A and B are shown apart, each in its own frame.
Chain A
Amino acid sequence: MTEQEVDLPPISSSQDQSPPETYELHNGRKRPRLEYDLSTSSDPALFSSDDHAPTAEDYASKRRKKKWQGTWWGEKVKGSASGTSTGSKREFTRNFDSGVWMGSEGTDTSLEDEILDELRSTDNKSCLPLPPIYSEQRLNMLEKDVVALDDASEYEVPHCHIQETASKPTRNALLNAAVDKIIDRCLEAGDENVDLSSMSLDHVPNESLRRLRSLTKHTTIWDIPPSQDSYSSLEPTLRLYLSNNGITSFPSEVLNLANLSVLSLRHNKLTKLPPALAKLPRLTNINIAGNELKNLPYEMLDLYKRPDFQMNATANPFSQPQSAIPPNSDIEKWMFTTNPLFLAQQKPIYFHADGSKANDAAPRGLCSRVPSLLEFALRKCKDLPDLMDIEKECTAGGGPSTLAGPLAMAQEATKYGDLECTVCGRSYVLPRVQWLEWYMVPIGSRRDFASSNVVAARHIPFLRQGCSWSCVDIVEVTVAS
């Protein structure tokens, strides 16, 4: 193809743009043409000049010449123009992209035909009962699909989006396997960066995360004898990236990863964070941008006491006070200290013992620090092994439905650890009072912030909860919300 280059005609849009299917490996009817190099994914070169010439490569595959006619840009399958079905039945294949069952292209045989065919074939055998609609052949194909999905997850993780069409348990199992694989790799290599981002997870399996507790760094082998300062701790500073998933509830096992230093939950569907998050001893960087958080736990303010703590909490639907926050003379001074600055407070909302909202007026006569009997019983019930069943029973109507809420809280407490009263420090299950406090909080790197003097801060609501009606901590700046 050096001297005799011909001008190629423009590719007409009307014709089928997809190249002729040459590698339908799953279709047993077509003979795979294995004389071509299978290592390249593109179709073999085919030119008009050597189309019908019996070249050395081409002489074996007579089928091709029979099937195709015309030039390479306009070639058509012989006999397809007439539109008559040759009667050869095509198999049903599953289209992975759309998730819809359909016959392969150009088929004239419908599902009914196929079932009828099967019926006829069994009639010939005459002694078998009617076959079920899901014939063995189709079941086999379903199995093949699962295998294909498995292969896909093996090669395309972590950037594949496994179709929702896969049945739920299968999909979960595949995702869990993918997560396990990544964690295995990290454990094996001593890699502190655990990247589980963009995997369309809606939850993170706790068993997998638990194994991260045992992660240790690997020793580096030195060419030169190590000096005094080349020693370093093998204790890892774990960095866990869970961004770009669909996680709806905070993965509780994260709270047990004592070595966690960076946690990214960017772009998920979290609606609340557990207060126990602030107890992670080495957490210095957390990214919770792009979630559905309305407020943050009050305990997280403690994290700002750490010298190098950073938080990114942008793009969340934080609740804002209805009335304007009164001007605060400290704001100018604050720009140089970069600690959270208290701005305003919401009126406390009181709850009855069973968790229902009390009237707006503070119940003066009943203020005491004594926990309710329900609270005591819940604390004990928290340790019961079949708590979840009891809660289900209550929600289903087998028990008092008012207990469903408190039991759900107890379950949360077993999952995320006890709540601690932000006023008196007692641990409790059911909050009796709660209110929001708005703080001015630096966003992004504090070092940059301090040097550039840019007000890159927003007032962020922090949710304070108390264990009794007396546990309120009222400051005079109160705004409506």
Chain B
Amino acid sequence: MTVRSPTDSTPAAGIDSASSSISPMTNPSPFVTLISSDGFEFHVRRSAACVSGTIRRMLNTRSNFSESVTGVCHLENLNAMVLEKVVEYFYYNEKHKDSRDVPDMEIPSELCLELLMAAEYLDT
């Protein structure tokens, strides 16, 4: 996962570069970009991001969402703090997918309500 702050480059430029580099139908990139409401970009492995039902449906190549073509998801109702935790969960989920004893993930209590809303939105 790589994070790019909005000061590095404008989000619009990020989208352009992403869309130009991907040839969507034939070979989708193994990474997708999640952009928080305050402009932070998170480059996440596609398989991990697809833990979320909402993102999975966004990126489904058979759907006609622009996200499926560009591989960039704008998550307007998640700020960077929450999205970071969400992405952490994506990787945590993927890591422990097949293990029997799954350790708990720590969630700071100040974020729990926002994460509740995020989890509801992302269907995860």
- Nearest A-chain residue to B85, judged by Cβ: A373
Q: Hey, which chain A residues are within 8 Å of B53, CB to CB?
A: 353
A369 at the interface (CB under 8 A from B): yes
Cα(A352)–Cα(B53), bound, Å: 10
Q: How many residues of chain B have a CB within 8 Å of chain A?
A: 27
A354 touches B120 (CB 8 A): yes
Q: Hey, which chain A residues are within 8 Å of B86, CB to CB?
A: 373
B98 touches A400 (CB 8 A): no
B102 touches A369 (CB 8 A): yes
Q: Hey, which chain B residues are within 8 Å of A376, CB to CB?
A: 89, 104-105, 107, 115, 119
Q: From residue A364, how far is it (CB to closest CB) to chain B in Å?
A: 13
Q: Which of B97, B99, B100, B117 contacts A400 (CB 8 A)?
A: B117
A371 at the interface (CB under 8 A from B): yes
A372-B92 contact given A353-B119, A380-B112, CB 8 Å threshold: no
- Per-position 1/0 for B74-109, Cβ under 8 A of A: 000000000000100100110011111010110101
- Per-position 1/0 for A369-384, Cβ under 8 A of B: 1111110111111011
Q: Hey, which chain B residues are within 8 Å of A141, CB to CB?
A: none
Cα(A369)–Cα(B117), bound, Å: 22
- Nearest B-chain residue to A470, judged by Cβ: B100
Q: From residue A116, how far is it (CB to closest CB) to chain B in Å?
A: 60
Q: Hey, which chain A residues are within 8 Å of B115, CB to CB?
A: 373, 376-377, 380
B47 at the interface (CB under 8 A from A): no
Q: Hey, which chain A residues are within 8 Å of B124, CB to CB?
A: 353, 372-374
Cα(A377)–Cα(B82), bound, Å: 12
B102 touches A402 (CB 8 A): no
Q: Hey, which chain B residues are within 8 Å of A373, CB to CB?
A: 86, 89, 115, 118-119, 122, 124
B12 at the interface (CB under 8 A from A): no
Q: From residue B119, how far is it (CB to closest CB) to chain A in Å?
A: 4
A354 touches B98 (CB 8 A): no
A374-B120 contact given A368-B97, A380-B112, A390-B113, CB 8 Å threshold: yes
B112 touches A354 (CB 8 A): no
Interface residues of A in 365-408 (CB under 8 A from B): 368-374, 376-381, 383-384, 390, 399-400, 402-403
B123 touches A371 (CB 8 A): no
A370-B97 contact given A353-B124, A376-B89, A376-B104, CB 8 Å threshold: yes
- Nearest A-chain residue to B98, judged by Cβ: A368
A353 touches B117 (CB 8 A): no
Q: How many residues of chain A have a CB within 8 Å of chain B?
A: 23
B96 touches A372 (CB 8 A): no
Q: From residue A359, how far is it (CB to closest CB) to chain B in Å?
A: 14
Q: Hey, which chain A residues are within 8 Å of B22, CB to CB?
A: none
Cα(A403)–Cα(B114), bound, Å: 12
A374 touches B119 (CB 8 A): yes
Q: From residue A310, how far is it (CB to closest CB) to chain B in Å?
A: 38
B119 touches A402 (CB 8 A): no
Q: From residue B76, how far is it (CB to closest CB) to chain A in Å?
A: 15
Residue among B92, B112, B117, B124 facing the most chain A CB atoms (10 A cut-off)? B112
B109 touches A383 (CB 8 A): yes
Q: From residue B46, how far is it (CB to closest CB) to chain A in Å?
A: 16
Cα(A329)–Cα(B105), bound, Å: 47
Q: Hey, which chain A residues are within 8 Å of B99, CB to CB?
A: 369
A399 touches B96 (CB 8 A): no
B92 touches A370 (CB 8 A): yes
A377-B123 contact given A369-B100, A370-B102, CB 8 Å threshold: no
B1 at the interface (CB under 8 A from A): no
- Nearest B-chain residue to A375, judged by Cβ: B119
Q: Hey, which chain A residues are within 8 Å of B97, CB to CB?
A: 368, 370
Cα(A370)–Cα(B112), bound, Å: 18
B116 at the interface (CB under 8 A from A): yes
Cα(A136)–Cα(B123), bound, Å: 60
Q: Hey, which chain A residues are within 8 Å of B100, CB to CB?
A: 369
Q: Hey, which chain A residues are within 8 Å of B104, CB to CB?
A: 371, 376
Q: Hey, which chain A residues are within 8 Å of B122, CB to CB?
A: 373
Cα(A378)–Cα(B115), bound, Å: 9
Q: Which of A369, A371, A379, A400 contacts B120 (CB 8 A)?
A: A400
Q: Which of A377, A390, A400 contacts B107 (CB 8 A)?
A: A377
Q: Hey, which chain B residues are within 8 Å of A383, CB to CB?
A: 109
Binding site for B on A (CB under 8 A): 352-354, 368-374, 376-381, 383-384, 390, 399-400, 402-403
Instruction: List 20 A–B pairs whose Cβ atoms lie within 8 Å, in order of A's numbering.
Output: A353-B119, A370-B92, A370-B93, A370-B96, A370-B97, A371-B104, A372-B119, A373-B115, A373-B118, A374-B119, A376-B89, A376-B107, A377-B112, A377-B113, A380-B107, A380-B112, A381-B113, A381-B116, A400-B120, A400-B121
List 8 tightest A-B contacts by C-beta distance, closest first. Answer: A380-B112, A374-B119, A373-B119, A377-B116, A377-B115, A368-B97, A373-B124, A370-B93
Besides A374-B120, A377-B115, A403-B116, 5 more A-B contacts (Cβ < 8 Å) are A368-B97, A368-B98, A376-B89, A376-B104, A400-B117
